[in-house]
């Protein structure tokens, strides 16, 4: 049913919820022998929990009157931040942790006072978050292994598939793991290249933590290194548009990579550089907000072409027969 530690905690929970409980009742609940129940009670007493009562056949246990474990105390802002953090795991590409987040949220709710519990439950029911199309799902178990290696300062070995689909085998001293623009990265010293390198977590597999250790450089800024080392995307057109929506509504719907979002005149000024204006224009149309194009003029011509195509598709036609097959 549970591991021993969970059974001990279950005994404590039952004792807090009842005035008294017999050893036979606890044994049946935990699916163990009465002698094992006695060991669990003794363990609680060793931890300073005042469990009293008679042992043996017919014996009953109870907590000393007036004893109660203090509840976890959170301010409204702390509880709100915890609940929102659990809800936002998908935005970090960690969808596999969502069931665990639900369980953690339920445990959190049980520890809160009634008024605060209702606030957190209302938040879960009222807030709906949608994953950004730019987020790449990451292997939560792999991330946990990487973080354990970082904490222990141990070298890792893993398989890696590069942008062109070429597999390699790497050893690395991982200094940091970080999330940037919808992707998880690890940054550290690559043994193959004998230099600092970054690797995308979603392209890593078959990771092993080695026995050899390392010492990370103090005050290493992994974010600055990663931003400076990633290649610039192809940039042809300098774009400046104004959108009739505040920046907060656009984050997660527009890529922030090489894109500036600045509040302006009740909306947002978007400045970026893109190779294909057609793709960017289609993205803007899908935002369902007002758009004013300031530059380049070619972007307005793309919208004009879209408008002509939409008008042609919306116009009635005399011939409703489907087009012949080629």
pLDDT (tens digit per residue) in 267-302 = 999 998 887 888 889 888 888 889 999 999 999 999
Which of 70-79, 83-92, 151-160 has the least mean pLDDT? 70-79
Q: Measuring CA to CA, which residue among 154, 150, 170 is closest to residue 162?
A: 170
Q: Where in the chain is the domain with CATH 1.10.10.10?
A: 4-63
Q: Report the alpha-carbon distance of residue 11 to residue 26 in Å, rounded.
A: 7
pLDDT of residue 326: 46
Assigned CATH topology for domain 237-314: Alpha-Beta Plaits (3.30.70)
Reading the block at residue 120, the tokens are: 């957190």
Average pLDDT in the 21-46 region? 85
- For residue 198, count other CB atoms closer than 10 A to its CB: 19
Q: Which residue has the higher pLDDT, 118 or 158?
A: 158
Assigned CATH topology for domain 140-229: SH3 type barrels. (2.30.30)
Percent of the chain residues past pLDDT 90, beyond the cut: 27
Q: Is the pLDDT of residue 108 over 60?
A: yes
Q: Is the pLDDT of residue 168 over 90?
A: yes
pLDDT of residue 229: 84
Q: Which residue has the higher pLDDT, 57 or 85?
A: 85
Average pLDDT in the 238-256 region? 84
Q: Where in the chain is the domain with CATH 3.30.70.250?
A: 237-314
Q: Where in the chain is the domain with CATH 2.30.30?
A: 140-229
**CATH entry, 4-63, from 3.40.190.10, 3.40.605.10, 1.10.10.10, 3.40.50.300:** 1.10.10.10
The DSSP bridge partners found for residue 265 are: none
Q: Is the pLDDT of residue 213 over 90?
A: yes
pLDDT of residue 185: 92
Q: Is the pLDDT of residue 180 over 50?
A: yes
Compute CA distances 96 → 36, 158, 199, 226, 252, whole Å: 36, 21, 21, 26, 20
Average pLDDT in the 164-173 region? 93
H helix intervals, the chain = 4-17, 23-30, 34-46, 76-87, 98-111, 114-126, 140-152, 222-229, 247-250, 277-285, 297-314
């Amino acid at each position: 049913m549970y591991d021993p530690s969970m059974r001990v905690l279950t005994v404590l929970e039952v004792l807090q919820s009842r005035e008294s409980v017999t050893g036979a009742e606890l044994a049946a609940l935990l699916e163990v022998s009465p002698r094992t129940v006695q060991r669990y009670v003794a363990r609680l007493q060793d931890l300073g929990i005042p469990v009293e009562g008679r042992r043996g056949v017919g014996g009953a246990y109870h907590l000393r009157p007036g004893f109660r474990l203090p509840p976890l105390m959170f301010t409204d802002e702390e509880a709100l931040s915890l609940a929102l953090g659990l809800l936002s795991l998908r935005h970090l590409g960690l969808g596999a942790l969502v069931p665990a987040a639900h369980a953690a949220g339920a445990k959190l709710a049980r520890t809160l006072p009634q008024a605060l519990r209702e606030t957190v439950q209302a938040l879960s029911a009222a807030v709906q978050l949608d994953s950004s199309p730019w987020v790449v799902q990451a292997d939560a178990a792999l991330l946990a292994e990487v973080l354990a290696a970082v904490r222990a300062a141990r070298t890792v070995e893993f398989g890696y598939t590069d942008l062109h689909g070429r597999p390699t085998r790497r050893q690395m001293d991982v200094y940091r793991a970080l999330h940037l623009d919808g992707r998880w990265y690890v940054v550290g010293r690559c043994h193959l290249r004998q230099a600092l390198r970054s690797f995308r977590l979603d392209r890593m597999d078959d990771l092993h933590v080695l026995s050899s250790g390392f010492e990370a450089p103090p005050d290493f800024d992994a974010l600055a290194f990663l931003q400076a080392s990633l290649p610039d995307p192809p940039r042809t057109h300098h774009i400046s548009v104004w959108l009739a929506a505040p920046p907060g509504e656009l984050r997660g719907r527009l890529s922030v990579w090489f894109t500036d979002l600045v509040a302006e005149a009740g909306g947002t000024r978007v400045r970026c550089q893109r190779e294909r204006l057609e793709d960017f224009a289609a993205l803007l149309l899908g935002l369902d907000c007002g758009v004013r194009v300031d530059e380049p003029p070619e972007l307005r011509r793309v919208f004009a072409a879209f408008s002509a195509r939409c008008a042609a598709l919306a116009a009635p036609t005399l011939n409703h027969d489907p087009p012949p097959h080629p």
